[in-house]
Each structure stands twice: as C-alpha cells, then as structure tokens.
Structure 1
Amino acid sequence: MTKLTLKDIAKHFSVSVSTVSKSLHDSHEISDGLKSKIRKYAKANHYKPNKIAQNLVNRSTKTIGVIIPNILNYFFVQVLYGIEKVANERGYSIISCISDHSLKKEAMTLDLLSSGAVDGLILSTVASEMQTNKHIGKILETVDNQIPLVMFDRVLDAIECDKVIVDDFQAGYKATKYLLDTGCTNIAIISPIHSTKIGRLRVDGYKQALSEKGFAFDDKLITPIEPKDDLEFILSFILNDKNIDGIMALDEITTVKAMGIIMARGYHVPNDIAIIGFTNGRLSKYVTPALTMVSQHGSYIGETCANRLIDRIENISSPGNFETKVVKTSLIVRESTRKLPMV
C-alpha cells in the first residue's frame, strides 16, 4: 500500500499542498468546513506526517546524537540510560553510535550526525591530545558548524565546549588508599585504558596514595592490556611476584575476569589478594565474592550531559561560557577487599 502524501490529499480536494498542510495544522486561514473534510479524509486513509520533511522545514530534529567508545563497558550503558531518561522528559529522541575505539569510525559518525541528522551531540572520544591534530580538527568542524557539543569522561582540552568529567585522580587515590589502609603493601594495576588521559590520572592518584604512605612507586606493577591480550597469560606474570597482595583493575569486565583467574589459581580473595575495580555495574554485585568497586555515577553523568546539551539547543544557556562539571566518585566496599582495622 502506497503511503498517502500531502500531494495526494491536495489532488483529491483540488487544492494546494499548502492548503492541506494548513488544514491539518488547524490554521485559521482555512474555512472550518474544508478543514474538517481534509482532516477526516487524512484520518480515514491513515495519513502520517513526514517527520524528516518537517524537521528540514523547521530546522530542528528534536534528536540528540550520542557517540561512545564501547557498549560493553557498563559505565557507558549507565550514561546512555541517563541521557535517554532526560531526553524523553524534554521531548527529544537519541541516536546512539559506537566508535569501537576507532578514530576513523568516530570521524565518519561525526560527519553523519553533524550533517543535519541531529540538533546536538554528546561525545566520549577515543582520541587523545597527542594522537592526531587532524581528528581534533574534525571535532572542531562540528563546533564551527554551530552544532552544540557536550563531551564527557574522555574529553579533549583543545575543544572548547561543555564537559562532564569524573575526578579520576581522586578515584585512583581513594581506591589505592583504601587498599593500603586495609594492610596491602604491594598493589598492582591492570589498565585497559593506559593510553587515555583518564587512565593516566587514575595511576597518578595511585602514586599519590603510595607516596603519602611512604611506599616507592614501581612502574613494573603497572600492566597495560589491550582487548586482544590473553589476560590469564598476563596475570601469570603478575602473580609470579609472590608479594602482590592487592590488585586494582581499571574497568569492570577486567576486574571480574581477573578475580576468576586469581581464584582458579588457588588464591583466596581478599585474604591473599584484595581486588578493587572501576564501574559499579551488575556483574560486580553478583559475582562471589562481590567486588569492591569505584562508582563513577554514570546515570547522573548522562543526565547532566543531556540537560546541558538541550539547554544549549534551546538557547537556555548563554552563548560561550562553557562549563566543566567534575563528578566525584564513590567507593562501594564489598567482600573482595579486607575490612579496615578497628581503631
């Protein structure tokens, strides 16, 4: 069945397309009798307005584009949930895209979404300040095209826009300090985000906590990993150091996998090795023992991003005057770490 168009209705009544459009929008310019006939005919024949055409006329899509590096990371799932919640409340839809840690894919997605498909963008980039000026230029093109942009978590200092970030230095410091306070003295880090600014900030927080307790930093305890790496093989090298009594893994999936491998090798968690991870997702709650995690409050970050972007789109925010919102983390203590000694 062919979809009924404004042109079809206009031909049926021998009137202009403009007259049909005005009738369907209850314009006072059209007589009540003709409006009633046109509207009844449209309803009886299941007419549906062309939203894309309307958006082109109104220069508004009521849609937000969201680009994230990875959908398997529960933190990004939480952020998407927060964005979706606010978007629905404020009458917007979202188009979510995954860059899969690819600069090329992120650039292609930016081109697609900034060509008129959305009113604004929320981006957690895979680029780093040192990676490529060309890619930073691609993001700057989006801003120059007058498309409001909010960056979160993985942001670039070179881009002037609103940003929502986690206090990653404090998060690394807080997690390390807790392990030290419970008696750990030799803490290894497993980092799947070693090339990102947030990964470096968490390690900087780790160094600060060690320094305050009088422990020397040993870079051999920092283990970067890639998605294709064999974590069991890598952990075997870490566990060769019999003094390791604490591990901090910088994302949830790595934390869960690491604990399974450690326990399968006969270690007790937390008595032999205590474990802390990042992102307080469902996995960390329901494994045994339940994992102590750093919560980054992803849903709140998503809500903050969406509200800030929509304010920009609707000119509620003042032009320029970009803000960077820093979100503090929380340490959710569970069974994978030792208890603090009684004072």
Structure 2
Amino acid sequence: MKKITLKDIASEFGVSISTVSKAINDSHEISEKLKDKIRAFAKDNHYRPNKIALNLLNRNTKTIGVVIPNILNYFFVQVLYGIEKITDEKGYSIITCITNQSLEKETKTLELLSNGSVDGVIISSAAQEDEIPHHAKHLRDLSENQIPLVMFDRVSDLINCDKVVVDDFEAGYKATKYLIETGCKTIAIVNPIADSIIGRFRIEGYKKALLENNFSFDEKLVEALNPNEDLELTLSLLLNYKKIDAIIALDEITAVKVQNIVKSKGYNVPNDISLIGFTNGELSKYVTPAITMVSQHGKYIGELSANLLIDRIENTKDFLSFTTKLVKTSLIERESTLTISN
C-alpha cells in the first residue's frame, strides 16, 4: 500500500500542504470543522506524522541535500567544496548524493529528499535535454512539499526556482576566439557531453567566433563522443579528415586523453595542434605540456548556490522572487596553446 502524504491529503480537500500540517497539529488557525475532517481522513488512511514530517513543517533539520551527477568531474568537486564552506559557516550539514549520470537514481534520490529530511536541495540534474520535460515533475514535487530548490550548471526553464548557471555560450566563444587570435585556422571540437544543453551552448559560442572571423562552420569538425566510443579511433578519423591545428575538448579528462593520443601520433602540442579543455582541475596542470583551460569557477558557484538556498530557507517574508545568477568563465593560459602575437 502506498504511504499517504501531506500532499495527498491536501489534494483530497483542495487546500495547501501547510493547511493540512496545521490541521493535523491542531493549530488554532484552522477551523474545528475542517480540522476534524482532515484528521479523520488522515486516520482512516493510516497517515502518521513523524519526525521527518515535523521537520518539514518547522524547517529545523539544518540539513541541505546536494545532488550531483559525477564526483569524478573536478568541477563538481569544486562546487561541493564551495557549498560545504558556506553551510559549515552557517551551521548547516549536507547530505551529498551522487547519481552517476543516472536519471533513475536521481529520481529515487529526489523522492527520498522530498519527504522532509532536508530543509532544501541544491542540484545539478543528470537529465539530458530531451529528458527534462518528463523529469521536471520530480523537481516540482520538492516545491510542492515546501522544500526550497537551487539548480546549478544543468538547469531548466521548466522549473521555477533559484538558479546558478555558467555562461557556457561565452565560454565556447572565448576559447575559440583565443585560438583564432593565436593563428589557428582549423579548430575541431571533441564533445563528450553532446546530450547536454551545456555542450550545445559551448558549440553555439564556437560558431559565433568562427562567423565573426569569416571562418565557415564545418559540422564534421565537431565530434560527439559517447561514453563507450573509442576516442583514439574518433581522433584518427578527425585528423585524417582535414589538417587540424587546434582542438577544444569540452571536459578536463577528455582534454588530457586527447593530448596523450595526439602526442602519441607524433604531433607536437602546441606547435602542430593547440589544445584547450574545460574545468580547471588538477589533471590539466600536471600533464606535459600543461593544458590551457576554461575555468568555470566551481567553488564560487557552490558558495553562491548555498547562500541562495539558505537565504530562501531562512526568509521570513511572504514572497521572495526567484533569481538566476550568471557566472562568467576565465581562460587559464598554459603551454598547450600558442601565445597571441602582437
């Protein structure tokens, strides 16, 4: 038998979840007649208030749920560090849930967190762009259960909540423009996040930089890389297609792999092929040559997300409008790219 929730009872009587909570807890704000009806229905359907439900009402867990798709990506490690820094300063604990890019696991995690075990949730969704409309319901359930939500990096316009996003369009534009300014003529992209809106924005920025500099866009220079695909084979085909003098890899691990493969084929980095990656992690610093990276400022994104959520949790006003914060990226120049000639 499905466990009945406050939301179910609220739907039965056409009232808000907070009204049901107040009725069950014998609040003087609710009429005796409505209280009796709600409490009788709750009893008949075996609803039992518990500590978690009371936490939902009183907002006193001092715990925040953090849901991220991949702990191996240094960007998410940085975000988590920023979140923990702020929550620790403000007396909150965090429950970290890693979905490993599984939408099924994310859905189960959200169902668990929506029962009131946390005061709020910060999430970067594992949902791909075409999955978001269906998955949006699970995110909306949090707000229906009065649990504040902040989405970061991978967000959706279908969800009304606070958001922190990276300017990925500008990032793709900035990386491409830099390569053009160093003298590169044929710039390829290796995209391991092809199903993500993030990857699409970065490629749109790449296209804009090409257009501004009178370079034509060649879709064969943009390689979508699936998790099970052979990167070495993909690169071999790409390098045989055309004389390429620059590659942009859309995450850090892929950038490191691309550099190793390119070097193993006898190319010099950066004299033959320049390379730029995304996410300024530790790996890119210590390979040879060190790789030029686009930094998304993960720690700052984590701090900003945590501050937004805690402000929402502790807000005593009747209404606080949702906000979207846009975070600009920075290009960290290293030895894998040529320098801009004066």
TM-score where L is the length of structure 1: 0.82
Would the alpha carbon gap of residues 69 and 317 (structure 1) be closer, same or farther in structure 2, given more than 3 Å must change? farther
Q: Is the 8 Å Cα contact of residues 66 and 97 (structure 2) preserved in structure 1?
A: yes
- Once the two structures are superposed, the pairs formed by residues 307-318 of structure 1 within 5 Å of their partners are 307-315=307-315
How far off is 1:59 after superposition? Answer: 4.5
Partner AA of 1:199 in structure 2: G
Task: Please name the residue that 1:321 is paired with.
Answer: 321
How far off is 1:127 after superposition? Answer: 1.7
- Once the two structures are superposed, the pairs formed by residues 10-25 of structure 1 within 5 Å of their partners are none
How far off is 1:239 after superposition? Answer: 1.4
* Structure-1 separation of matches of 2:269 and 2:241: 16
Task: Please name the residue that 2:114 is paired with.
Answer: 114
* Structure-1 separation of matches of 2:320 and 2:89: 25
Query: In structure 1, the residue corresponding to 2:294 is in which secondary structure?
Result: strand
Q: Is the 8 Å Cα contact of residues 116 and 147 (structure 2) preserved in structure 1?
A: no
Task: Please name the residue that 2:339 is paired with.
Answer: 339
Q: Give CA-to-partner distance per residue, 1:193-247, whole Å, 9 cap, x none.
A: 1111111000000000000000010110110112222211211111113411000
Query: In structure 2, the residue corresponding to 1:121 is in which secondary structure?
Result: strand
Partner AA of 2:295 in structure 1: S
Matched, 1:197 2:202: no
* Structure-2 separation of matches of 1:162 and 1:61: 21
Partner AA of 1:165 in structure 2: V
How far off is 1:54 after superposition? Answer: 9.4
Partner AA of 2:331 in structure 1: L
Task: Please name the residue that 1:90 is paired with.
Answer: 90
RMSD over equivalenced CA pairs, Å: 1.8
How far off is 1:126 after superposition? Answer: 1.8
Task: Please name the residue that 2:262 is paired with.
Answer: 262
Which stretch of structure 1 is more off in the superposition, 233-242 or 265-274? 233-242
How far off is 1:57 after superposition? Answer: 9.1
Query: In structure 1, the residue corresponding to 2:115 is in which secondary structure?
Result: helix
Query: In structure 1, the residue corresponding to 2:272 is in which secondary structure?
Result: coil
* Structure-1 separation of matches of 2:325 and 2:242: 42
Partner AA of 1:158 in structure 2: L
Q: Is the 8 Å Cα contact of residues 53 and 116 (structure 2) preserved in structure 1?
A: no
Query: In structure 2, the residue corresponding to 1:117 is in which secondary structure?
Result: coil
Q: Is the 8 Å Cα contact of residues 85 and 303 (structure 2) preserved in structure 1?
A: yes
Partner AA of 1:174 in structure 2: K
* Structure-2 separation of matches of 1:189 and 1:71: 24
Q: Is the 8 Å Cα contact of residues 129 and 158 (structure 1) preserved in structure 2?
A: no
Q: Give CA-to-partner distance per residue, 1:42-87, whole Å, 9 cap, x none.
A: xxxxxxxxx9899589542111001111111100000000000000
* Structure-2 separation of matches of 1:311 and 1:209: 38
* Structure-1 separation of matches of 2:302 and 2:150: 11
Q: Give CA-to-partner distance per residue, 1:273-294, whole Å, 9 cap, x none.
A: 0000000011111111000000
- Once the two structures are superposed, the pairs formed by residues 141-160 of structure 1 within 5 Å of their partners are 141-160=141-160
Q: Is the 8 Å Cα contact of residues 129 and 157 (structure 1) preserved in structure 2?
A: no
Runs (4+) off by over 4 Å: 51-59
* Structure-2 separation of matches of 1:320 and 1:90: 20
Q: Give CA-to-partner distance per residue, 1:295-333, whole Å, 9 cap, x none.
A: 000000000000110111111676341000000000000
Runs of 5+ in structure 2 lacking a partner? 1-50
Which stretch of structure 1 is more off in the superposition, 299-308 or 187-196? 187-196
How far off is 1:134 after superposition? Answer: 2.8
Partner AA of 2:314 in structure 1: E
Matched, 1:253 2:253: yes
Task: Please name the residue that 2:180 is paired with.
Answer: 180
- Once the two structures are superposed, the pairs formed by residues 299-310 of structure 1 within 5 Å of their partners are 299-310=299-310
* Structure-2 separation of matches of 1:108 and 1:56: 19
Would the alpha carbon gap of residues 210 and 156 (structure 1) be closer, same or farther in structure 2, given more than 3 Å must change? same
- Once the two structures are superposed, the pairs formed by residues 121-140 of structure 1 within 5 Å of their partners are 121-140=121-140
Task: Please name the residue that 1:47 is paired with.
Answer: none
* Structure-2 separation of matches of 1:184 and 1:112: 50
TM-score where L is the length of structure 2: 0.82
| Percent identity for Structure 1 against Structure 2 | 63
Of structures 1 and 2, the larger Rg is shown by: 1
Would the alpha carbon gap of residues 261 and 316 (structure 1) be closer, same or farther in structure 2, given more than 3 Å must change? farther
Partner AA of 1:138 in structure 2: H
Task: Please name the residue that 1:290 is paired with.
Answer: 290
Task: Please name the residue that 1:3 is paired with.
Answer: none
Q: Give CA-to-partner distance per residue, 1:155-195, whole Å, 9 cap, x none.
A: 01100100000000000000000001101111110011111
Partner AA of 1:238 in structure 2: L
Would the alpha carbon gap of residues 318 and 280 (structure 1) be closer, same or farther in structure 2, given more than 3 Å must change? farther
Task: Please name the residue that 2:230 is paired with.
Answer: 230
* Structure-2 separation of matches of 1:303 and 1:59: 21
Q: Is the 8 Å Cα contact of residues 172 and 204 (structure 1) preserved in structure 2?
A: yes
* Structure-1 separation of matches of 2:318 and 2:262: 53
